[in-house]
Each structure stands twice: as structure tokens, then as C-alpha cells.
Amino acid sequence: MTTASALGKIILFGEHSVVYGRPAIAVPVSQVFAMVEVTDIQDAGTGEIYIEAQDMNVASWLHEMPSDNPLAQIINLTLREINASYLPSLRLIINSSIPISAGLGSGAAVSVAIVRALCTHIGTPLPLKRQSELALEVERIHHGTPSGIDNTVVTFNQPAFFVKGHEPEIFHIGAPFTIIIGDTGVSSPTSIAVDKVRKAWKKNTLKYENIFDHIGQVATQARGTIEKGLIQDLGPLMNQNQTLLEDIGVSSPELSTLINAARGAGASGAKLSGAGLGGNMIALVNHGTAELVETALCSAGAVRTIRTEVNP
């Protein structure tokens, strides 16, 4: 038996504008992860693959799954990549604690955990860069124009300053800081928010390009702030980023309610994280405010909160 996993992620700065070539910052979230277990099936001939993914309501042979199913796609891409001359029949059990369509990188993490588990089981481990590229191929099929930030952070498992088409820059965290993630409970597929922004950008390109430039500047400034450990300056930058995300139309009443609740309870900054229109928000807290913010988020309707530490 072989097991492999991949962590979730949050985007701290720069979602959406990253699709248009501006920088973004994302960090792994170790409290949520996807886990894949691969075992040989003794009596099923060769090369048959059975997939069980309870969270996604899947219990099926690979050859019986629709070809556009993301699980089928990443498995087929991986098998093609390994090009093994002999393959035993295999059972894949996929579990994930990362909420789906919520901005925490669930799709990328499941893909990367599958690539890792299959390749290790078959004895052909792939370099991280290639794992990330395979996960990006699946994201492309579903999201059209993904920036690549999800698969990158999920695969490399490090805080990253990311610009589409460039190698991710793993940068220094000057001082640890604590983020509370609040889930609106509203499922929001990335493709819907990305399409909405693209349509608006086509109609009003100059306005959107200006906003993306501004978000890119905030992300770059945030990198310097994090590197220097000036955590007190990070909250206002998160608030600025949130205002700009509101300007491009990807916030929502549920996100605003949680963001306001977090700020009211003492968070020094709060914003949506990921594609928006639902999903999760994040708040920057300290020892004194962490619990107050968690309580305020739950009272304001968060279906769950996660406390995560970003460490040097």
C-alpha cells in the first residue's frame, strides 16, 4: 500500500489579477489536506483501476467514468506520463478534508496527491515541477485560464510569490503570523468568478487593468512587509486588497458579513481568499484577537473556521 498527500492553500494577496500577469502571494494550509491510498487488487487482471472518493460520491472503475471527470483526467495523465510497461490492477481511495469550491485549492491538492500516490506506488516518482504541471493541465480543462498559483503552492508546499509563466519565488517570512480562515458555506466554483471578471474586463479593459495594477502593487508591497516581519503593516494591505476585489465584483454579501465581523472583533485586516463570490475569507489576528475573531465569525454565520500559522 502507498499513501500520499497534498495540503490546501490560501491566497493572501493578488487573486484574479494574477490571471492577468500580476503577482500574487499564497501559502499552504496544513490543517486541511487531500490523502490518496493506492493498493494492488489481486484478482482483477492487469491495468484496471478502481476509484473510491466518498466526498465526491465516486465509486467506479476508471474505464466507466466520464472522460471529463477531473479524477479520471489526472489518473489518465499520470499513467501516460509514467508509461509503465506493466501495471497491476489498483484501488485508489481518495479522501480530502479541503472544502470543495471554496478557494482552498481542493482540486489541485487532490490532483497532486493522486500523482504522488500513483507514481510512488508504481516506482516512478516525478519531480515536483512535473507534478505541478500535470495538476495544472486538469485545472486548465476546468477553469479555462488558471494562473497556476494553486497547483504551484500545493505542490511545492511553501509560501510563494507567484507570477504567471515564471518560476515561483519562495521567499523569506520575517516573523510568524496567524490567519483565521472563515468559510461562508457558499460553494463557488472558480470558473464562475473568473468568467465574470473576464467578461467585465473585456467590456471595460482600462478600468480593470488599472485595478489589477493596483492589486499587483499591494501584493508586491505585502511581500516586502512579510519579508521584513512588519506584520502590523499587513492588515491594512489586506483591507486595501479587499476593496479592490469589491471593485471588480467578486465579493458577496456573505463574504462582507464575515469580513466586517472579523474586523469588528479586532482583526487587523480581512479579505476574501480565492475566487470569491462565496468560499472563504481570511483575517489577520494576534494572540489577543484570535479567539475573539473566531467567535465573531461563527456568530456571523461562518460554517467553520480554521486557525493557521504562517511560519519562517
Clarify whether 150 is annotated catalytic: yes
Q: How far apart are CA 119 and CA 132, in angstroms?
A: 13
235 binding ligand PMV? (CB under 6 A): no
Q: Which is nearer to ligand PMV, 194 or 285 (CB)?
A: 194
Amino acid present at 62: L
Least gap, CB of 159 to ligand PMV (angstroms) = 15
With binding defined as CB under 6 A, does residue 37 bind ligand PMV?
A: no
> Residues 4, 15, 28, 296: which binds ligand PMV (CB under 6 A)?
15
Considering the complex, what minimum distance in angstroms separates the CB of residue 293 from ligand PMV? 21
**Closest to ligand PMV by CB, 282 or 290:** 282
Amino acid at 209: E
Chain positions 85 to 114 lying near ligand PMV, rule: CB under 6 A, are 103, 105
| 232-242 b/e (C-beta count within 10 Å ≥ 16 → b) | eebbebbbbbb
51: enclosing H helix or E strand: strand 49-53
Which residue, 125 or 249, has its beta carbon nearer to ligand PMV? 249
- End-to-end distance of the chain based on CA atoms, in angstroms? 34
**Contact range with ligand PMV by CB under 6 A, out of 15-23, 52-60, 76-84, 281-289:** 15-23
Q: What whole-number distance in Å separates Cα of residue 79 and Cα of residue 81? A: 5
| Interacting span for ligand PMV (CB under 6 A) from 39-47, 109-117, 188-196, 289-297 | 188-196
Does position 150 interact with ligand PMV (CB under 6 A)? The reply is yes
Cell of 146: 488558471
190 touches ligand PMV (CB under 6 A):
yes
Task: Tell me which of 150, 183, 213, 233 is the catalytic residue.
Answer: 150
DSSP lists the bridge partners of residue 180 as 283, 307
- d(CA 137, CA 157) in angstroms, rounded, equals 19
- For the residues of 104-139, what is the DSSP string, one character each? S-HHHHHHHHHHHHHHHHHT-PPPHHHHHHHHHHHH
Nearer to ligand PMV, 93 or 250 (CB): 250
From the CB of residue 86, how many other CB atoms can be counted at a distance below 10 Å? Answer: 7
Q: Which residues contact 281 (CB under 8 A, 6 or more apart)?
A: 181, 182, 184, 255, 258, 259, 262, 270, 271, 272, 273
Cβ proximity of 196 and 250 under 8 Å: yes
Piece in contact with ligand PMV (CB under 6 A), picked from 35-43, 82-90, 145-153, 232-240: 145-153
The verdict on 18 binding ligand PMV (CB under 6 A) reads yes
> Which of 136-155 are b and which e, b meaning 16 or more Cβ less than 10 Å from the residue's Cβ?
bebbeeebeebbbbbbbbbb
- Confirm or reject binding of residue 168 to ligand PMV (CB under 6 A): no
**Interaction residues for ligand PMV, span 274-303 (CB under 6 A):** 274-275
Residue nearest to ligand PMV (CB): 274
Examine residue 119 and tell whether it contacts ligand PMV (CB under 6 A).
no
Applying CB under 6 A, which part among 29-37, 82-90, 151-159, 190-198 lies near ligand PMV? 190-198
Residue 183 near ligand PMV by CB under 6 A? no
- Cβ 216 to ligand PMV shortest distance, Å: 12
133 scored as a contact of ligand PMV (CB under 6 A) = no
Catalytic positions are 150
Give me the residues that bind ligand PMV (CB under 6 A), please.
Answer: 11, 15-16, 18-19, 103, 105, 143, 146-147, 149-150, 190, 193-194, 274-275
